[in-house]
Amino acid sequence: MPIDKAVIPVAGLGTRLLPTTKAVPKEMLPAGRLPIIHHVVEELIAAGIRRILFVSSRSKVAIENHFDDYSQLLMALELDGRDAREVVRFDYRQRGIEFFFTRQQVPLGGTKPLGTGDAVAAAESFVGDSDFVVAFGDSIIHGGEEPSLLQRMVASHDHHDAACTIGAWNVSPDQVSNYGILVPREQEAAEADCRLQDVIEKPAAGVTSSRLAISARYVFRAEIFAQIRAVAPAQNGEIYLTDAIRRLIENGREVRAVRVGEGEQRYDIGNHRAYFRTFVDFALEDPEWGPDLMDYLRERIKAEDVDSP
Ligand code: UTP
C-alpha cells in the first residue's frame, strides 16, 4: 500500500522565538507569502500524502483555521468580483486532502509537553497498522529536482522494507552537539542512502565522528509506537523520538538515512537568525515581489557601504 498518512507535530512551545511566538504559532510565521506549515503540507502532498494529522495544542488553533475549507472566502471574493485563483489553488477539499487534529497533553502539574516522542505517540490510533511519515512543522525542505527528499525516503523505505527511514544532512563539527546525529555503518558511510548503526541525541564533542544530522523528516512502520512506550524519559522529562529509533536499531531492525541532495535546502525555523534568513530566501523567490525585494536589499547594502568608514 502506498504511504498516504503523515503526522505533523506542532505542539511545542517555540520558546526560542519568543516574544514572536507568544500568540502566533511559530509554524504560522510566513516564509515568503505562505506560512511555514503551508510549505510543509505542500511538500507532503507532492510526495503522495493525502491524510494529515496535526498533533497540536490549545495555543495552536490558528493552524487548524488555516487549513479550514475556503468556501466562504471564495464566495466573498467572487461576490466582490475579485480574482480568486490564488485561493482556489489551495482548496485542499477539492484536491482530496483530509486534515485531522489531536492534542498533545501537558501532564498534570507540568508546564510543557513531553517532547517529540510523546507527540508522535498521540498519532497511534490515526496511524493504525500503516507505514507513515512524520514531518516537523517548523522545518522546510526546499528546492532541488524531483524526486524530492521525501519521495526518495519513501521509495528507499519500501525497497529495503525498513522499520524507519530518516532524512539527513551534514552539519559542521561545531553543530553536532545541537542535533540528533546518525551513525552510518562504516561500509556505507559515503552513500546517499545508507543503513545506520546508531543514532545519538545531541552528542557531546568526541562521542562520534559522524556529522550526519536528522533533518525533521521520517518514515516509520507502526512498530515505532511500541518502542516509544518503552523509552525512559530523559533528564528533562522529555521522551525523545531519537531514543525510540535507537531501540529499533538495538533490536536488529533496519533503520536507514537518506541525505538531502544537491540543490535541496533545509530550513529549520527554530530561532530568529534562521527564521529571518528563511523569510528572505522565500521572499526573494516570489515571482511578483522577489525582484523588487532584491533591488531594495541592493540599495540598503550600497547605503551601508557608503555610511561605513
Ligand atoms: P522543537 O524541538 O523546535 O521545540 O520542536 P519547540 O518546543 O517547538 O521550540 P523551543 O525549543 O521551545 O524553541 C520541533 C517540532 O516538534 C514540535 C514543535 O511544535 C516543532 O514543530 N513539538 C516539540 C511537539 O509537537 N511536541 C513537543 O513536545 C515538542
Q: Is 180 in the pocket of ligand 1 (CB under 6 A)?
A: no
Q: Is residue 18 part of a domain?
A: yes
- Which of residues 167 and 84 earns the better pLDDT score? 167
pLDDT score recorded for residue 9: 98
Q: Is residue 296 part of a domain?
A: no
Q: Which atom in ligand 1 lies closest to the alpha carbon of residue 271?
A: 13
What percent of the chain shows pLDDT beyond 90?
A: 81
Q: How confident is the model at residue 89 (pLDDT cuts 50, 70, 90)?
A: confident
pLDDT surpassing 70 at residue 53: yes
State the SS3 of 23-83. Answer: CCCHHHCEECCEEHHHHHHHHHHHCCCCEEEEEECHHHHHHHHHCCCCHHHHHHHHHCCCC
Distances (CA, A) of 163 to 106, 128, 267: 29, 15, 26
**Given the DSSP bridges, would you call strands 51-56 and 139-143 parallel, antiparallel or unpaired?**
unpaired
Q: Is residue 229 part of a domain?
A: yes
Q: Is 115 in the pocket of ligand 1 (CB under 6 A)?
A: yes
Residues 6+ apart with CB under 8 A from 288: none
| Domain extent for 82 | 5-270
pLDDT digits (tens, 9 = 90+) for 126-138: 999 999 999 999 9
Q: Is 63 in the pocket of ligand 1 (CB under 6 A)?
A: no
pLDDT score recorded for residue 34: 95
Q: From ligand 1's centre to the CA of 182, what distance in Å?
A: 20
Question: Mean pLDDT score of the chain, rounded to an integer?
Answer: 94
Residues 6+ apart with CB under 8 A from 271: 16, 17
Q: Grid coordinates 512502520 are at which residue?
A: 221
Q: Is residue 43 part of a domain?
A: yes
* DSSP character at residue 208: -
What percent of the chain shows pLDDT beyond 70?
A: 100
Is residue 259 a contact partner of residue 218, using CB atoms and an 8 Å limit? Answer: no
Give phi and psi for 79, each to the nearest 5. -60, -35
pLDDT digits (tens, 9 = 90+) for 199-258: 999 999 889 999 999 999 999 999 999 999 999 999 899 999 999 999 999 999 999 999
**Residue with CA nearest ligand 1 atom 27:** 115
Q: Is residue 91 part of a domain?
A: yes
**Given the DSSP bridges, would you call strands 132-135 and 5-9 parallel, antiparallel or unpaired?**
parallel
Q: Domain tally for the chain? A: 1
Q: Is residue 264 part of a domain?
A: yes
Q: Is 12 in the pocket of ligand 1 (CB under 6 A)?
A: yes
Q: Is residue 288 part of a domain?
A: no
pLDDT digits (tens, 9 = 90+) for 151-181: 999 999 999 999 999 999 999 999 999 999 9
Mean pLDDT, residues 186-193 taken together: 89
Domain with residue 145: its CATH number is 3.90.550.10
pLDDT score recorded for residue 243: 95
pLDDT surpassing 70 at residue 96: yes
Q: How confident is the model at residue 144 (pLDDT cuts 50, 70, 90)?
A: confident
Angle (CA) 217 133 213, round 5°: 20
Q: Is residue 137 part of a domain?
A: yes
- Closest CA relative to residue 8, chosen from 149, 265, 218, 224: 218
Greatest mean pLDDT among 83-87, 204-208, 262-266, 290-294: 290-294
Q: Is 138 in the pocket of ligand 1 (CB under 6 A)?
A: yes
- Closest CA relative to residue 255, chosen from 266, 264, 243, 240: 243
Is residue 150 a contact partner of residue 133, using CB atoms and an 8 Å limit? Answer: yes
pLDDT surpassing 80 at residue 123: yes
Mean pLDDT, residues 177-188 taken together: 93
